[in-house]
Structure 1
């Protein structure tokens, strides 16, 4: 039996001092032919680990030692890539967003990618339990020739467990700037009867999982054609995929009633866009 989600209230039921807050701050730089971690700051229950790599790239794995987030919890991630550096940032596991008693769970990410630098921002999915309230933001500042692959994924309930996100809230905010000029802005807001809203044909057509990928760099038109060819080969009832170029950014959307089918397609897409195998945490 699952407890029903509680409605949002103007005042939180739990005081702020019993909620978890923390995050990770990273800085990468080029040292000789390799990218190295130059600065690291950790707070709260959040950590970063750096697996050994065998190329010029540095990889960071973000870890939430608390095993999930609930209403009132807050996490902030900041990453700076100095000129010429190349880094991949991922997470150890999917982030579970549990039922809230009123307050939002807040995740704020700010990425700065310097001249000639390349960043792959590849966190695993956020799983929203029924009654969860997630307010998430992603802000990216790119230099003129910086390269980026950024992905964010949401699973609405654990479908493998027969669960659905009946009620709750999701607010997702993206802001991307190139040399200080805003080139991409998007706000998504779902609130109330989430499952009913996603069942509407004009909204989600029964989707239980969604993902957005944005890529910045060169040869975007060629990449777009590759993505569209892949979409043509995918069964229409498994994953709905659309892609286009907006303000010199490649924007890819995925929707699916099957979370695992969406993840399978996502792994293929991210491998093509980054030109490398995904971090090991994606397969463990």
Structure 2
């Protein structure tokens, strides 16, 4: 098999103009020692860091919480995150609180994340919700490379922030892009290119044609050799009793691994969190024998 790169981003590897622009950089490398996952490399700079590691059960999975002491993303902010989970390691990565995007006059705020998963590695990426406030423009780009035997679960909830006049969708634009590659013996092959663009129309328009009349969006991406049509049908059935409009689709198979993408529309962050928790709970119980996540942070 072609090995995944094992080096994290060094300060010299980031272009000088981006280093000057970046408000925060975080690099985290996870490996296995003594039967459990630990941080083998760690670096932070500016307005990003992680709290001390936690172990939520006896599985050996390590949990890290990302923190932005500044509290929000503002215009022209750039945040760089680099994560590597080495062979056999297991990481749960979450955030301390919601990611808040405030007004971005002049230029959009941006987060760029690079993720690499080695052979048999596992990553659960479970951030709190993304809240876009009035006149906010935000871009989030994630580049993911994984081994065919890796397991990836990513969840996201997007919600409009409070507006003084009570109107919905006062943010300008949200662009979220996930590019997922599988590294096989013949090289790197694209598994999925997931682009999400939310650009509200002028005025308080919330009817059919834009978010189908809903205000909140939830997303779940799963990449694993155990993903198949039966699982997609099961998760689709699981969501039908919840107050959300949901769709599930599968990617092509590359190197024996397949991706699943679930989208859900609702008017409630709590309802979307329940939906995503129910789905990830099924995966955790079936694939790793773990209890559903309880990431209460207060």
Smaller-chain TM-score bracket = 0.7 to 0.9
> Could you tell me which residue of structure 1 aligns to residue 74 of structure 2?
70
Q: How far has the Cα of 1:241 moved from its partner?
A: 1.2
RMSD: 2.4
> Could you tell me which residue of structure 2 aligns to residue 119 of structure 1?
123
Runs of at least 5 residues in structure 2 that lack an aligned partner in the other structure: 1-17, 253-257
Length-normalised TM-score, structure 2: 0.81
Q: How far has the Cα of 1:120 moved from its partner?
A: 0.5
Q: How far has the Cα of 1:225 moved from its partner?
A: 3.0
SS at match of 1:68: coil
> Could you tell me which residue of structure 1 aligns to residue 282 of structure 2?
272
Deviation digits for residues 20-39 of structure 1 (CA, Å, limit 9, x no counterpart): 61121000001131111101
> Could you tell me which residue of structure 2 aligns to residue 128 of structure 1?
132
SS at match of 1:111: strand
* 8 A contact 1:120–1:274 mirrored in 2: no
> Could you tell me which residue of structure 2 aligns to residue 166 of structure 1?
170
SS at match of 1:50: coil
Asked if residue 245 in structure 1 is aligned to residue 255 in structure 2, the reply is: no
> Could you tell me which residue of structure 2 aligns to residue 4 of structure 1?
none
Report matched runs for 1:20-99 at 5 Å.
21-53=23-55, 54-55=57-58, 56-99=60-103
Runs of at least 5 residues in structure 1 that lack an aligned partner in the other structure: 1-15
Length-normalised TM-score, structure 1: 0.85
For 2:157 and 2:120, locate their aligned partners in 1 and report how far apart those are by CA, in whole Å. 27
> Could you tell me which residue of structure 2 aligns to residue 148 of structure 1?
152
For 1:90 and 1:239, locate their aligned partners in 2 and report how far apart those are by CA, in whole Å. 24
Q: How far has the Cα of 1:173 moved from its partner?
A: 1.1
- Size of the alignment, in residue pairs? 264
Distance verdict in 2 for CA 1:260–1:27, change over 3 Å: same
For 2:51 and 2:202, locate their aligned partners in 1 and report how far apart those are by CA, in whole Å. 35
For 1:194 and 1:230, locate their aligned partners in 2 and report how far apart those are by CA, in whole Å. 36
For 1:212 and 1:269, locate their aligned partners in 2 and report how far apart those are by CA, in whole Å. 11
